[in-house]
Amino acid sequence: MRRVGAVTTGTGVRRGADATLRGVADYSFGDDDPALERLRLVAAAYAPVSGPFLAAHAPGGAARALDLGCGPGFSTELLAERCAPQTLVGLDASPAFVEAARARVPQARFEIHDVAAVPLPGAPAEVIYARLVLAHLADPLATVERWRGELVAGGVLLVEDLESIEAPPGPLSDYEDLVADVVRASGGVLYAGPALAALGGRVVRVTVPPALAAAVYRYNVRRWLADESRRPLWPRLAVLDAALAGTAAHDGGPGLSWVVRQVVVGR
C-alpha cells in the first residue's frame, strides 16, 4: 500500500504566530528525551542511504558546511564523518536539540536559528545539507531557492525529503492516516519530495522492520496522548497506541519503506 507521511529529523523552524506568518508549520514531534530517542532510531535507519549520498555529492574537506534542521546532531555527525569539512555549522530552532548536538558533535558549531530565514549563520557555504526538514515549510521550492543563494559559487545543496511511505495494512498504515491529519493541521506540506520533482534527483527506499517502525511511531502517538490540545483525537490515539504496541512487540511481517527523494542543487 502506498501512503504518505512524516518522519522528521529535527525542528529547524520557529513555532507560534510568528512562524505562521512566515509560512512555517508548527513542529508536532517534540524535542524532549523521547523525541531524541525516536530520532536516534530514525538516524540509524537512514544512515545506509544518507551516508553514500553525502559521500557521493559533498566535496571532502570543504571549507564550510551547514546542516539545516540538525536536531540533536545525528545528521551533523554523519556529515562530519562522510565529508570532514573544515568548519561545520548545525542550525536548529530547538535550544534543547542544539544543546544535545553540541555534546554529540563537539568539533562542530551549533546555533539556534529558524532555517526558513536567510541569511543563514555560517553562510556562504560550500555544502548545505537538509534532511527531512522541508515538510515543515509551506513552500519547499521557494525555500530551496533561498538556500541555494546561501552557497558559494560552485557549492552544492543536498536535500533528502519524503516522497511517500509504503506501509502494510494495519496499525502502521493507520498511523500514516493520523499523521497526515496532524501535519496538515499544523500547516505543513506533509511530504516535500514530490514538490521537488522539478529539480530531479533520485528516489530511494529506507526499509525497516515493522517492529522498528511501530516503535518510532509510538513516540509520537504517546506525545499526542499527553497533549490537551489534541483531546478530540485521544480515543483514536489510544486504539492506535495499543495496536502499535502489539506490532512493536513482534518480529516478522512485511516491512515499511520510507521513500526518499535525494536532490542535488548547485550554484
The pLDDT, as a whole number, for residue 231 is 93
pLDDT of 196 strictly over 60: yes
User: So what's the pLDDT on residue 3?
Assistant: 42
Q: Are the C-beta atoms of residues 42 and 49 closer than 8 Å to each other?
A: no
Question: pLDDT-derived band of residue 227, with 50, 70 and 90 as boundaries?
Answer: very high
CA atoms of 192 and 49, how far apart (whole Å): 18
Question: What is the model's pLDDT at position 9?
Answer: 56
Task: Give the residue among 156, 221, 188 at the shortest CA–CA distance from 11.
Answer: 188
In the chain, domain spans: 2-266
Contact 2, 172 (CB under 8 A): no
- Tell me the pLDDT of the chain averaged across its residues: 89
pLDDT for 182 equals 79
Residue 128, C-alpha cell as written in the block: 548545505
What mean pLDDT is predicted for residues 76-80? Answer: 98
Per residue in 87-118, pLDDT (tens digit) is 999 999 999 999 999 999 999 999 999 999 99
| Nearest Cα residue to 124 out of 148, 108, 159, 96 | 148
- Supply angle C-alpha 235, 2, 198, rounded to 5: 120
Can you give the length of the chain in residues?
267
Q: What percent of the chain has pLDDT over 90?
A: 79
| pLDDT at residue 75, rounded to an integer | 98
Of residues 186 and 164, which shows the higher confidence score? 164
Compute the average pLDDT of residues 55-81.
97
Q: How many Å from the N-terminal Cα to the C-terminal Cα in the chain?
A: 38
Answer whether 52's CB lies under 8 Å from 81's CB: no
Residue 200: which residues within 8 A CB-CB, separation 6 or more?
263
2-266 maps to CATH 3.40.50.150: yes
